[in-house]
Amino acid sequence: MQRRTGLLTLALCFAGTLSCLAQSPHMGTWKLNEAKSKVPAGFMKNTNVVYEAAGDNIKASTDGIDKDGKPFHTEWTGKFDGKDYPLTGDPTSDARSYKTIDDHTLAIANKKGGKVTTSGKIVVAPDGKTRTLNVTGTDAAGKKVSSTSVYDKQ
pLDDT digits (tens, 9 = 90+) for 120-136: 999 999 999 999 999 99
At 5, phi and psi to the nearest 5? Answer: -65, -45
Rg of the chain over Cα atoms, rounded to whole angstroms, equals 17
Q: Is the pLDDT of residue 16 over 90?
A: no
Q: What is the pLDDT of residues 29-83, one digit of tens each?
A: 999 999 999 999 878 899 999 999 999 999 999 999 988 899 999 999 999 999 9
Is 80 in a helix, a strand, or coil? coil
Positive or negative: CA dihedral 61, 63, 67, 68:
positive
Q: What percent of the chain has pLDDT over 90?
A: 73
Q: What is the pLDDT of the chain when averaged over all its residues?
A: 88
Look at 92 and 102; give whichever has higher pLDDT: 102
- Give residue 101's pLDDT: 97
- Give residue 11's pLDDT: 44
Distance, in Å, from the CA atom of 16 to the CA atom of 103, rounded to the nearest integer, reads 17
- Give residue 124's pLDDT: 98
At 50, phi and psi to the nearest 5? Answer: -130, 125
- Give residue 100's pLDDT: 97
pLDDT level of residue 143 (50, 70, 90 thresholds): confident
pLDDT level of residue 2 (50, 70, 90 thresholds): low
- Give residue 139's pLDDT: 72
Q: Is the pLDDT of residue 5 over 80?
A: no
Q: Is the pLDDT of residue 94 over 60?
A: yes
